[in-house]
Each structure stands twice: as C-alpha cells, then as structure tokens.
Amino acid sequence: MKAIVSQMQVGDMTQVAEIEREAFSTSWPPTSFRREINNRSHSCLVAYAPQQQAALEEERGSGPNLSARAPDRSVFSRLLESVKEFVSPEVASDGNRRVLGYVSLWFGVEEAHVTAIAVGREWRSLGIGDLLMIGAVEVARRRGSRFLSLEVRASNTMAQSLYSKYGFKKTGLRKGYYSDNREDALVMTTDPIDGPQYQEMVERLKESYRRKRGEFELALA
C-alpha cells in the first residue's frame, strides 16, 4: 500500500486525536490540534492512504484486519465529546483518506523537537513509523533546522531503535520525566541534519524503504 506523508489538514484532526488516545492513554486533556495547525512554531505531519486503497488492500488480505481490532466506539464517542471545542462536525472527517499515523514537531532557533509520534494500532509494524521519521527530517530541513531532538521513555527500546536508525543519539536523561509513573526519559539528538553524511544516510534509508515496502510520497509543499 502506497502511503503519503503531508501536513495535517483540518479534516484529519478527529483521526489524529483517536491515534493520540490509543498511543498516549495518560495524555489528558487531549492536544488541541486545531491550535497547532495554525501555529508557525509547530508542524503536524500525517501518513495516510486513500480510503479506497486502504479498503481494497484490507479486502485482499494484504492489510491488517481492522474489524478484528476496531476501537471501542463508546470510548471514541467520549473522546469526540472532549475535543468538540476544537473539532467541529463539518470538518470531523475527511472521507478521502485514512490517517495511519502522525508526528508533531516544535521549531526553535536551530532545533526541531519531536513532541509526539504515533501509529494507529491497526497499522503498526508496517513501516509507517519510518515514513513519519523521513517526513520529520525533511520538514525540519526545509524549515532550516540543524538538529532534531526528542524524549523517549527509558523502557521503550523499540522506539529507541527506530530513532537510532535515523541518527538520534542519547545525549541526556530527564529523571522522573513522565507524570504517570515517574519513569525517566532519555534525551536523544541528531548530528547536524544539513550535513552531507546525514543526508546520505537518509537517502539510503529511503531507498531501503522502497525496496522493502514500495513507493511513498512526501507531499510537504
């Protein structure tokens, strides 16, 4: 299935909010994505597939079985109630695309900080996290950032492996950073992303993705 990475649109916000709820159950109140979409210091990218394509691949058996892992609709209804201030009914859903995951960034003077990255549970282990990282690197480069940074739970070795793949290195520790269980956070930072070595690494990762998963599109203009 070909996935596309683009800036989040207003019609994506309900799907993105649901992915946030799945991935970050302790994050409350939910993020105001409407506020972020209009803030030049922030960027939220989504990976998505056209609805028709996602449905066709599911029918053929090449995609995940969504019906077996459908979200609890009562929980989803409560989520929509909680974010109705920010998501109006007329823009609650874009019927043309299914959001697979998202990544949000905050931009400082030279640094792009990854504040959140998550993939919908029915689309995990399909390379969507790689696409979101590729998109994050590209949008940071276009915005003139020299470094990318993030925090990650000390116990989340799977996420750390993904970040290391894209050149993030452990540069610090925030003790008791996570409020739900006082877990420590590792601070991870890249080398300069505008350097030739880093850019060559990203190009190799893109080509590796194409060989393994197929074509993708970065629609970031």
- With beta carbons less than 8 A apart as the criterion, state whether 165 and 134 touch: no
18 is catalytic: no
209 is catalytic: no
Distance in angstroms (rounded) separating the CA atoms of residues 15 and 13: 5
Name the active-site residue from 163, 183, 203, 209: 163
Name the active-site residue from 102, 151, 166, 198: 151
- What's the full length of the chain, in residues? 221
Token pair listed for 115? 């504040």
With vertex at residue 192, the alpha carbon angle to CA 186 and CA 197, rounded to the nearest 5 degrees, is 115
Give the Cβ contact number of residue 111 at 10 Å: 16
Q: Which whole-number Å values give the CA distances from 125 to 78, 122, 129, 213, in the listed order?
A: 28, 9, 8, 11
Active site (catalytic) residues: 151, 163
